[in-house]
A and B are shown apart, each in its own frame.
Chain A
Amino acid sequence: MAQSNLALSAQPGAQAYADAGDDAARFGPRGIGARLLRNEDARFLAGHGEYLADLNLYGTMEVAFFRSPIAHGRIRSIEIPEEVRSRVFLLSDLGDVRPVRAVLNAPGFRGSDFPPLADGVVRFVGEPIAMCIAPTRAEAEDIAQQIFVDFEELPVVTDMLKAADGSAPSIHDGWPDNVCFVSTPGNGDMAQAERAAVVTIERDLHMHRQCVVSLEGRGVLAHHDRRLDELVVYSSTQQPHIIRTVLAPLIGVEENKLRVVAPDVGGGFGVKNNLQAEEIAIAALARIVDHPVRWIEDRREHLTASPQAREHHYRMKLHADAQGRILGLESEVIVDAGAYSIWPWSCAMEANMSAGIMPGPYRMDAYRGRGITVMSNKPPLGPYRGVGRPGACFALERMMDELARAVGREPHEVRIDNMVLPGQMPFLTIAGKLYDSGDFPESVRRAAEMVDVPGVRAQQKDNGKDGLYIGLGWASYTEQTAHGTNEWLSRNLTEVFGYEAATARFTPDGKLILEVAIQNHGQGLETTLAQVAATELGVDPADVVVRHGDTAVSPYGLGTFASRSMVMAGGAVGRAAQMLAEKVKRIGAHFLQTTADKVTLEDGAVVHGPRRVPLSEVARAAFRHAQDLPPGEEPGLSVTTTFQPESGTGAFSYATHAVVVCVDANTGLVKILDYVIVHDCGTIVNPMIVDGQIQGGLAQGIGNALLEESPYDETGQPLASTFLDYLLPGFTEVPSARISHIVSPSPFTRYGIKGMGEGGAIGAPAAIVNAVNDALHGLGVEINETPVTPRRILKAIERAAKGDRP
């Protein structure tokens, strides 16, 4: 169903996009909006995907990292047997290499250095200390086993609450405690809200630490290209250009002598969206040896030593009137960011983002947020699908269900009453976010219809029979995407990722190549960017080549993260293709003896009435026979340009999730019976791919809600280091969601597209934990942490039976 919610038209043409008829009429039959099958499938289905471990460079030596076995200690000495000394590399063997210092340009932010290999001190189990090289990984690991390190063990910090209250010893030199940064977003008169409140709900909630788990681990291969005298770094990364920019000065190489290539990447989800210590170490090593060197992360390394995710503690206080209308929200989030600050996001990203988005889709007169980032002796925290928002959504949406219970209303009705209304768009939230378009209440109303609330309530009358309990859970959220210049500036980041770039060029046979700086690793961008070009140029998208992920093949750009590539790179491709189309039309019109405004581009040709000139003819003239061009027309058919959204505040997708679960009180197992998602991401470029992203995100959200946890003991040792103790959602845990779309195009972006890569993961933890609580409420159970494992459920039931409140 198309729906126009546009209250303003910041970008010329946006209104037209929103108000026009169906997508095929607006964007062409194989353009934006078409359910096209993916161009990139063929190579993956043939088993021909070329991932980092598949690269085959002559003479490559494999690297095994020797990593710290302890969580915190000073290195007294390192013993390396003489016969392998030449194949072991410590920081001091790498020449001039600088540590990463990922900071925010914000007063009060405490910076710290993250060296690529340990510089005298280790601060988490798994921190790289040395690199060992050999023809095979197995032999490299043999060498690593011969290294002996003598440590002076130091006190270990693993409890974020102790890190936050200053009672734990500082892990970074010169810091008085382990608090890195505190952000305090908010506005409004909280005292007034407190006075007016009839109901005040207070809860502590906890989202435990987890891993990201791309199925392909991280990996880096580097070598010196003698012909070009350049260092080539292949990395399984989401952002090759940015990596080049920051890597170059750290290893003392000029940026024009460094090429970064992301080959096929087997899943990213954020963990490949940082400058990695291993990237620096491998690149630095390649400068001083005369052969390629490669490191492939194994699963144990991934689970214990790669950037991890979540680990939030919330202290929430919600003030409302007797009907459940929110008057004020106080929220403190403490995030355990681990031992180091990750570039470029800084370790404060999680807490800041959570505190900034906390008010969600709701109106309120007062909000007081505190985002507290603390350091600990665990692996550094990095971005993972949702970044901050799954935690914020979990905390607030748990509160909304408790609020509904307190005022005796259905949770979805309380949500509808509090939501920003479509007529209020664009809406500036109390936390300073500018919502661009949408009908939030409609997403709840439609989800309620789809999930059949009265039907579920009727089923619940049998709760308790055979120890089975049915519950209905809700979550509504907004998903900020395609963050522009203003947003990054407001976050005080050292990098500003507000645009994307593209080159659109024809080859002399009339075929189109798109060269983009983003990286496609499952999102279908080799198809959807071609659809954008098809919209502008009338070419067959199956025939368009999309090249990406390589600093040598595209203009400079920022990469694939934060649900930005479709909006940003799509916008850049759209602009470039449109500019190219103008030239193609001029040349074609010249052939057709008419003017450019009289012709259209259809099916690979310039068309004027019954007459047509194929693009191959236009390209032939442009590249090979300039004498056939219109007078004054430059040869060539290539355009490079950039795109940035009209507003730098982002395009906000949103959704409501409604889930029905059955909890077995005998075993503590949760089975999902029905999962409904009503979703709005503006103009949909490819419905098949959009639904695939939502469902894929949901699977990760289910992992977050029910299964995935990376616990540490008090000495900082990881307790989950294999897939036997780190559980992933599989075929039998992830049902197929029923998905419905609302379409409210963004007024700020080209074509009205909004990003949408993360939402599935944002809503699920809240919705599922709410459903479990709804199921078990009759037993006096309340659970406010993720994942809700069978052990936690059984413990909560046992505690409730004894009369203990959580």
Chain B
Amino acid sequence: MMKISLTLNGKPVTVDVEPRTSLADLLRSPGCGCTSIHLGCEHGVCGACTILIDGRIARSCIALAVACDGAEVTTLEGLGEDELTTQLKDAFHCNHGLQCGFCTPGMLISAREVVARNPQLSEEELRTAMSGNICRCTGYTGIVAAVSAVAASRASSCTSES
């Protein structure tokens, strides 16, 4: 067991973990309770476990908890007040961007980073940027429409500000 400290959704957390424990398993455990993290493959392909580590998207299933000692970790639970996440949630709702909901938290977090990085991306660029997340239900149409809508609204506000 190793003792690590991290900031989880803005709150300090200190826990004992086995060196082999993944960050996803730690965060999903009852002590942390972040069950928005979903495990779809546990080998870093499907993106359902996507979270933010030090502000950048990462796959919590292939991150070792001990490697995140001192990190600032944010899950969907910690983005309740985040304006961009709220816009994306509304857009997913309005564009039927989810069906069973299992991929949704990871999709939202990836989409947040994609839109924040470059709101003026084309549909093809958006699809490529989002391609690290798999959805088995929607066929992506609703997700693309949702992320595009939020990107467009931000792009236009960028333009009007400049």
Contact = CB atoms under 8 A, between A and B. Distances in A.
B136 A47 contact: no
B39 A53 contact: yes
Given A37-B94, A47-B105, A522 B139 contact: no
Given A37-B94, A731-B128, A521 B100 contact: yes
Contact of B134 (A46, A264, A523, A728): A728
B17 to A, nearest CB: 11
Contacts of B42: 298-299
Contacts of B108: 45
B96 A215 contact: no
Nearest to B130: A731
Contacts, number: 162
Residue of B18, B28, B98, B101 with highest tally of chain A CB at under 10 A: B101
A265 B102 CA distance: 8
Contacts of A42: 93
A56 B30 contact: yes
Given A216-B38, A216-B102, A138 B21 contact: yes
Given A216-B100, A695-B138, A732-B127, A723 B28 contact: no
Interface residues of B, number: 51
Residue among A38, A40, A216 with the most chain B CB within 10 A?
Answer: A216
A368 to B, nearest CB: 37
Nearest to B101: A44
A524 interface: yes
Contacts of A695: 138-142
A723 B39 contact: no
B30 A45 contact: no
Contacts of A215: 38, 40, 46, 48, 100, 102-103, 134-137
B141 A523 contact: no
A688 interface: yes
Contacts of A83: none
A49 B137 contact: no
A45 B89 contact: yes
Contacts of A33: none
Given A215-B48, A216-B102, A736 B28 contact: no
Contacts of B36: 46-48
A47 B20 CA distance: 26
Interface in A732-749: 732, 734, 736-737
Interface in B75-127: 75-77, 80, 89, 92-94, 96, 98-105, 108, 127
A171 interface: no
A107 interface: no
A734 B40 contact: no
Given A47-B35, A53-B39, A299-B41, A267 B137 contact: yes
B56 interface: no
Interface string A740-767: 0000000000000000000010000000
A692 B101 contact: no
Q: Interface majority SS on A: helix, strand, loop or mixed?
A: loop
B45 interface: yes
A266 B102 contact: yes
B156 interface: no
Contact of A736 (B18, B43, B144): B144
A248 to B, nearest CB: 28
Contact of A696 (B102, B133, B137): B137
A723 B46 CA distance: 8
A266 B38 contact: yes
Interface in B55-78: 75-77
Contacts of A48: 36
Contacts of A216: 38, 40, 100, 102
A728 B136 contact: yes
A523 B92 contact: no
A269 B45 CA distance: 20
A25 interface: no
A662 interface: no
Nearest to A728: B134
Contacts of B137: 215, 267, 522, 696
B131 A734 contact: no
A424 interface: no
A586 B88 CA distance: 46
B128 A266 contact: no
Contacts of A264: 100-101
Contact of B45 (A298, A696, A722, A731): A722
Interface string A53-70: 110100000000000000
Interface in B15-45: 18, 20-21, 25, 28, 30, 35-36, 38-43, 45
B43 A688 contact: no
Contacts of A734: 139-140
Contact of B92 (A41, A299, A737): A41
Contacts of B105: 47
Given A728-B136, A731-B127, A722 B18 contact: no
A46 B34 CA distance: 11
B28 A53 contact: yes
A734 B131 CA distance: 11
A100 to B, nearest CB: 27
Contacts of A38: 93, 96
Nearest to B129: A731
Contact of A699 (B20, B30, B139): B139
Nearest to A523: B99
A689 interface: yes
Contacts of A732: 127-128, 131
B136 A41 contact: no
Central interface residue in B40, B76, B130, by most chain A CB within 10 Å: B40
A163 B100 CA distance: 38
A269 B42 CA distance: 21
A732 B140 CA distance: 9
Interface in A8-58: 37-38, 40-51, 53-54, 56
A732 B134 CA distance: 11
A698 interface: yes
Nearest to B45: A723
A730 interface: yes
A688 B46 contact: no
Contacts of B142: 692, 695
Max chain A C-beta neighbours (<10 A), residue from B96, B127, B139, B143: B139
Contact of A269 (B28, B135, B136): B136
A53, A136, A265, A267 — which one has the most chain B CB atoms within 10 A of its CB? A267
Contacts of B43: 299, 722-724
B136 A214 contact: yes
A213 interface: yes
Contacts of B20: 138
Interface string A503-543: 00000000000000000011110000000000000000000
B96 A688 contact: yes
Given A138-B18, A267-B136, A722 B131 contact: no
User: Which residue, B89, B102, B130, has most C-beta atoms of chain A within 10 A?
Assistant: B102
A730 B102 contact: no
Contacts of B144: 731, 736
Task: Sort A-B residue pairs by CB-CB distance and give the 3 closest, nearest first.
Answer: A47-B36, A44-B101, A266-B102
Given A695-B141, A723-B43, 7 more contacts: A46-B89, A215-B100, A215-B135, A267-B102, A723-B41, A728-B134, A731-B128
19 contacts: A44-B100, A45-B98, A48-B36, A138-B21, A214-B100, A264-B100, A267-B99, A298-B39, A524-B99, A691-B96, A692-B139, A695-B139, A695-B141, A695-B142, A696-B138, A723-B45, A724-B45, A731-B128, A731-B140
Interface of A: 37-38, 40-51, 53-54, 56, 136, 138, 213-216, 264-267, 269, 298-299, 521-524, 688-689, 691-692, 695-700, 722-724, 728, 730-732, 734, 736-737, 760
